[in-house]
Amino acid sequence: MTKLLGSQLPRKLFSRSVVSLATSWMVLQSVFVASPSLAKNDSQLPCQKDDKQLCYNQFLEKIEQGTIDKVIIDTRKNTATVTLPNQKTKQVHLWEQQGQLIRQLRDNNIPVDVGTSNNSARQFGIIANVVLIVVLVAGLALIIRRSAKNSGQTMNFSKSRARYHVEAKTGISFDDVAGIDEAKEELQEVVSFLKETERFTAVGAKVPKGMLMVGSPGTGKTLLAKAVAGEAGVPFYSLSGSEFVEMFVGVGASRVRDLFKKAKENAPCLVFIDEIDAVGRKRGAGIGGGNDEREQTLNQLLTELDGFEENTGIIVIAATNRPDVLDPALMRPGRFDRQVRVDLPSYNGRLQILQVHAKDKKLAPEVSLEAVARKTPGLAGADLANLLNEAAILTVRRLKPMITPLDIDDALDRITIGLTLNPLLDSKKKRLIAYHETGHALLMTLLEHSDPLNKVTIIPRSGGVGGFAQQSFDEDMVDSGLYSRAWLIDRITITLGGRAAEMEIFGDAEVTAGAQNDLKVVSNLAREMVTHYGMSDLGPLALESEDHNSEDVFLGGGDMKNRNGYSEEVATKIDEQVRAIAFSCYERARKIIRENRDLMDHIVDILLYEETIEGEDFRKIVSQYTQLPEKQIAMSGKK
C-alpha cells in the first residue's frame, strides 16, 4: 500500500502542475495576444501632430482641396496611408465605417486601394494553442504509461528475481576451473546426482538438497556453481541473498516460494544463492529483536529445503565468506547437508590458474609461470587473474609488445603494496629510509630461522609507504599455521630491525614515526605468543579466547563484553611478558646491526644508487662481508 501511495503521489503532483501550466498559459495569452475586438479603436485616440501622422479632419480637408495623390486603406487596422504631392506618406486613424470615405475619395478622383494586412498576433495565438494542446496530451500519455508500468511492477513485486540460465548460457565446465581440485571432487558427486538421479534413488539413497561452499573472496565459488550446472547440463538459477530481503514484511518469503516453484517446473535443476549470510544469519541476533522480514524469509527457505514437500531433482548450492554467522537450523543435515571448503590455492593450484589466465596473454619467452606461482602465496584465483591483467596494462603503457618478468613483478607490487611513485631525491629522508629498510633486510638474511629476503627497495608507494623489504615466506608453514617459537622470535626481531637501525645510526633524537606499523605487528605477535600459544613464562595456557562469535552476531562477530577469564593480576603479568619479548628482540636487533655497521653502510650506498636490490644480490653482498657461505645465507630459515 505504501508503494502504491508513493507511486500515485508524483502523478498527482504532475497533474496539478499540468493544470497550473495550462491556466498560466491562458492568462499570458489573453495579455499578450489580445483579440482585436477587445482593443480600443485607435480613431478615438486624441490626434498628435507629427511628421508621420495626419489628423482625420486634416485628412478630410486635403481631400476637398485635392492635395492627395493616393490613399491605401487597411481595413483590419482601420488606418489609411496617405501619399502627398511631395511623395511624403502619413498615417491616418479612421472610423469604423469607411464606405462614405471611399465614395468621397472617388468623387474627388483620388486613387484608393482597400486591403487587409496580415494578423501575426492571431497566427501566434493559434500556434500557442496548438503547442499547449500537444503538451497536455503528452503529459496525459506519460501519466497513463507510468500508471500501467507501476501496476505491472506491483503485480510482480513478490516474484523471484533469480536469473535463469540454460546450459548454453553458462558455457562453463570443470576444465575452466583450476587450482581447487578438492572442491571440484566434492562437486563432481553433485553432477552425478543431477545426471543420474534414478541410480541413487534405486538403492534408497536420498539426493542431498543443499551444499554450502565456504571460502575467502575470489576463490571461485560462483565459478564452481556455474561449472556444476554446465557439466550436468541442467537449468541454472542464480541470485544473491540480498535480493530476497525487502523493507516490506512477507515479500522475501513470497520470492522464496516463487523461486522454488519455478525450480520444480524445470527440475532437475540447480539453484545458486550467493552471499547467503545476507538472509541466513542467526535469528534473534540484534538489539531489541531481529529483522522480521529477514527472519520470515529464512523460515520460508528452511521450509522449502526440508519442509512438508519433497523437492526432487532440485539441488541448492549456497556460497558465503562467513559460515560462523549462519543460523544452526540452516546447517543441519537435511538442508545444507555438506560443506565444501574452497581454500586458497596451493603452489600447483596457482600454477594451473596462471596457465588458464595466460592463454590470451602475450608472454615473453623468459616469463616463468612457475616463478610467479612461487612468489604469490596467499593470492586467490581472482587475485592471480588481476595480476596478469595489471601486467598486461603496464606492458601497453610502456609500449612493449609482450609481457616481461619485470612487468609481472611491478604488477605484483602494485596489487599487494601500492602504486609506484616517483623516486625520492638524494636527501636525508632518502638515506634514513634506506637504513630503515636495510635493517629489516639484513636481519632477514642473517637470522637463522627467518624466511629469505625476496627484495628490498626504497622506491615509495602510494599509501605512505616509503620503501619495503619483502620476504619469501614458507608456504607450507603459513598454510598450516605451525609457527615455531624460534620463527616467531626472529619474526619480531626482523620487524623491529628498522627502528633498531634508526637508533644505532642516527641516535635517539632522530628516531622517526616510520616504524608505527611495525610496532603494531610486534605487539600483536608478542601478545599471541603469551595468550594464545603459551610461549612465555606464564606457561602453556590459552588466556584469551578466539571465539568472539557466540553472541552479538549483529556486530559482525564483535564483542561488547570482556570475556577474558583471568584476573587483573594475570593481566599485569601478560603485559609484562609482552614487553619482555619485545624489548629482548629489540636489543637483539640493535646488537646485530651494531656488529655489522660497515656492512650496513656499504649496502645503503648501493641501495641509494640502485634503489632496488634483489634477494640473491643482497645475499651475495652479505656473504662477502660476513665470510659466511652464500648457500648457508640463502637457505636461512628454510627446512
What distances in angstroms separate CA 362 from CA 348, 359, 366, 503, 597, one per listed residue? 22, 8, 12, 48, 46
Tallying the residues shown for the chain, one arrives at 639
Starting at the edge strand found earlier in the chain, the sheet holding 79-83 runs 89-93, 79-83, 70-74, 112-115
Question: In this structure, what C-alpha cell is assigned to residue 609?
Answer: 644508487
Give the SS3 label for residue 8. helix
Give the SS3 label for residue 83. strand
d(CA 608, CA 275): 49
Instruction: For residue 91, give the amino acid letter.
Output: Q
| Neighbouring C-beta atoms of residue 399, cutoff 10 Å | 6
d(CA 265, CA 313): 10
Q: 483: alpha, beta or left, given left = phi > 0 and alpha = psi -120 to 50?
A: beta
Q: Do 249 and 293 form a contact (C-beta atoms < 8 A)?
A: yes
> Does an H or E element contain 200, and which?
helix 197-201
- Which residue shows C-alpha cell 629489540? 586
Torsion of CA 196, 198, 200, 202, to 10 degrees: -150
- Which residue shows C-alpha cell 611491478? 410
Q: 99: alpha, beta or left, given left = phi > 0 and alpha = psi -120 to 50?
A: alpha
**Which listed residue (437, 595, 616, 630) is catalytic?**
437
List of residues 6+ apart from 85 with CB closer than 8 A? 67, 69
Q: Mind giving me the DSSP string for 261-281?
A: HHHHHT-SEEEEEESGGGT-B
Closest CA to 299 of 310, 311, 291, 287: 291
List of residues 6+ apart from 572 with CB closer than 8 A? none
CA angle centred on 129, ends 123 and 133, rounded to 5°: 145
> Does an H or E element contain 336, and which?
strand 336-342
Active site residue 437: yes
Q: At what angle do helices 568-595 and 516-531 cross, to 10 degrees?
A: 130
Question: In this structure, what C-alpha cell is assigned to residue 87?
Answer: 511623395
Is the preceding peptide bond at 268 cis, omega within 30 degrees of 0?
yes
Identify the sign of the CA torsion 283, 287, 291, 296.
positive
Identify the sign of the CA torsion 208, 297, 212, 548.
negative
What distances in angstroms separate CA 557 from CA 217, 461, 544, one per listed residue? 18, 33, 16
Residues labelled catalytic: 437
